[in-house]
Structure 1
């Protein structure tokens, strides 16, 4: 299934995402959608943001094309609900980039996206309604988590690629073409964006990009979970993002800070403060996500003791990631003193 669908779904999303910025960039310049650096930014000069519009178009067009051309022969109602949630999240992010939206309105619309999308999935699948608030909370949470974590070049592009490919594989294992196509479209769209985010003429995803990432991941995960896919296939690629956001949020609240204001206290940001480049920090996040995912799948296929060891290994990887800025900060002065 993966070999059959990948050339069309992954390939089309990647090509569209790589080419569309040529058309989108002049419009972003004309509209003045520019990110001005502040003391909390990870960049030092004004940069065009909102290029996630190209990524969103690539993702939505590719997934809609998979539906229209019959690449998704069954469970089409599930795919349609996931597509609608993804497109709605992208539209909200674009509204924030283009004109600005208050925090209250953003949260309300995110909740509405989760409420309507999850309700459609529940009705389609005929499952108990008690999962409805879980879907709403998951949608709101992950859209914001993806937005919080989109602070350095490459991190969101790599996250979309890893989660998308892992979900596509989960779809193949569980014989779900809609999930395969959703994962491949997600991976292709964010892989195609990477050259634009990492090259000389760097541009940013903006809220439209981080919102479509969070919305697509949440919608796909909710649809897959409600369809009976084991959580061990769905949660592991997200654990690093979840751990980074949760720990940072708790520490900020304990210090009496306003939790939703911009800051530079996430683990991936502190890694750059400790001396890593944007790409190096993004690769640390990605490597940890891949490692956690591989260990989790191995644990799913192991016996009782093997599963317990896999769980322990996942916890150790997450702890290692969370303390990595402190370790790197402590090690660098020592290395410099030894060289001198």
Structure 2
């Protein structure tokens, strides 16, 4: 059966409304508890900004999800086929989904601790590694047609760590990380919906709605930041969204399909690679921040911070559209 568009729309709107409503609450809590980003070196804000974004986004994802599960359990959806389809999908992938959402909460905790106490890099990396390993153990893994268990575990953990840090690196201007996360989530949602992979589409739309709900507080002027908690969460979720779908299917047996995540996530991946290479060439540790990100270079070329972010969003949207267009043209 064709999955109803109304369910997708309700998922997106639910996450949006919860996130946009939760942010003021989390902002007050963060200010009360001193969880703020103070002005300082390489920062453009002149007053402390609460690091409430990650908590708002997670709330926007979890509350609609829990509500949907309650509705599903009560079987009050009028479409009997949809109820059966969702129940079957959740039951079949329940272990994977539980580990993913435990991992999402874990990423928030690691990021929150880093925001609050500035964790040593090795401690933060160790926490990321533990969560990435748990996801791989839950059978959320990459194979790339190489049926070797060691390779599968290794490439999956490397991918998750890479995406977490890529989005952490991109959280350097108002709205940049949030917008890139929303664009990528939107494309994963579209592609998964076209392919009939409704659970992945629902996860992507939850993420999209939650990020869009936070975005007005973060761009163009910021009254709240994602913080490390938020950037860790966004990177983790997008890493998982890139692994969960089966892009290469009997319905669409095209070799380029496995490259879909690289198109959708090209901008944060490209920025990460360039920055690591630049820092390495200067003899700096790759985890020490600087002003060599794409956004900073665009500002040095004369763009305003706002226009630099808009240009990077547009670049991500254009590159991410490639696999969607290829999928539609092949169908």
TM-score (norm: length of structure 2):
0.82
From the superposition, tell whether residues 112 and 276 of structure 1 become closer, same or farther in structure 2 (CA, over 3 Å): same
Structure 1 regions of 5+ residues with no counterpart?
A: 304-340
- String of CA shifts for 1:265-318, please: whole Å, max 9, x gaps: 101122223332333212111111111122234345669xxxxxxxxxxxxxxx
Whole-Å Cα distance in 1 between the matches of residues 246 and 122 of structure 2? 29
- Do the aligned residues in 1 keep the contact of 2:50 with 2:224 (CA within 8 Å)? yes
Checking the alignment, whether the CA contact within 8 Å between 2:247 and 2:258 is kept in structure 1 is no
- 1:8 paired to 2:10: yes
Query: How many Å separate the matches in 1 of 2:240 and 2:99?
Result: 8
* Contact 1:232–1:300 (8 Å) recurs in 2: no
Equivalence for 1:121: 139
Q: What is the match of residue 42 of structure 2?
A: 40
Q: Would you say 1:178 and 2:196 are equivalent positions?
A: no
Output the CA distance in 2 between the equivalents of 1:83 and 1:227: 25
1:120 Cα shift? 0.5
After superposition, the C-alpha distances for 1:30-71 in whole angstroms (9 at most, x for unaligned) are 111221233322434432223321112212333344445447
Asked whether the equivalents of residues 272 and 281 of structure 1 are also in contact (C-alpha less than 8 Å), the reply is: yes
SS in 1 for 2:224: coil
- Kindly report which structure 2 residues correspond to 1:200-219, keeping only aligned pairs within 5 A, or say none: 202-219=223-240
1:294 aligned onto 2:296: no
Indicate how the Cα distance of structure 1 residues 196 and 241 shifts in structure 2: closer, same or farther if over 3 A, else same.
same
Deviation of 1:180 after TM superposition, in Å, equals: 0.8
Q: Quick one: which of 107, 111, 129 aligns to 1:89?
A: 107
Q: 1:158 & 1:139 partners in 2: Cα distance? A: 20
Q: Which moved more, 1:262-271 or 1:94-103?
A: 94-103
Deviates more, 1:42-51 or 1:102-111: 42-51
Does structure 2 retain, via aligned residues, the 8 Å contact 1:17–1:58?
A: yes
Distance in structure 2 (CA, Å) of the matches to 1:227 and 1:56: 30
- Once the two structures are TM-superposed, the CA of residue 122 in structure 1 deviates from its matched residue by 5.0
What secondary structure is seen at the aligned counterpart in 2 of 1:15?
helix
CA deviation after TM superposition for structure 1 residue 203, in Å: 1.4
Greater percentage in helix: 1
Q: Distance in 1 between matches of 2:222 and 2:130?
A: 36
Q: Does 1:222 align with 2:239?
A: no
CA-to-aligned-CA distance 1:84-121 (integer Å, 9 cap, x gap): 32222122212222333221111111111111111112
Q: Residue 279 of structure 1 is aligned with which of 299, 306, 326?
A: 306
The Cα offsets for residues 98-157 of structure 1, whole Å up to 9 and x where unpaired, read as 33322111111111111111111259x9x7523111111111111111110001111122
Structure 2 CA distance for aligned equivalents of residues 163 and 239 of structure 1: 10
- TM-score of the pair, normalised by structure 1: 0.80
Structure 1 residues 262 and 190: alpha-carbon distance in aligned structure 2, compared to 1, 3 A threshold: same
Query: RMSD value over aligned CA atoms?
Result: 2.5
Map of 2:79 onto structure 1: none
Task: Tell me the secondary structure at the aligned position of residue 285 of structure 1.
Answer: helix
Distance 1:65 1:276, change over 3 A: farther
Displacement of 1:214 in angstroms is: 0.5
Q: Contact (CA 8 Å) 1:2, 1:180: kept in 2 or not?
A: no
Deviation at 1:191, TM superposition (A): 0.3
Paired residues, what number?
Answer: 301
**Aligned residue number for residue 208 of structure 2:** 187
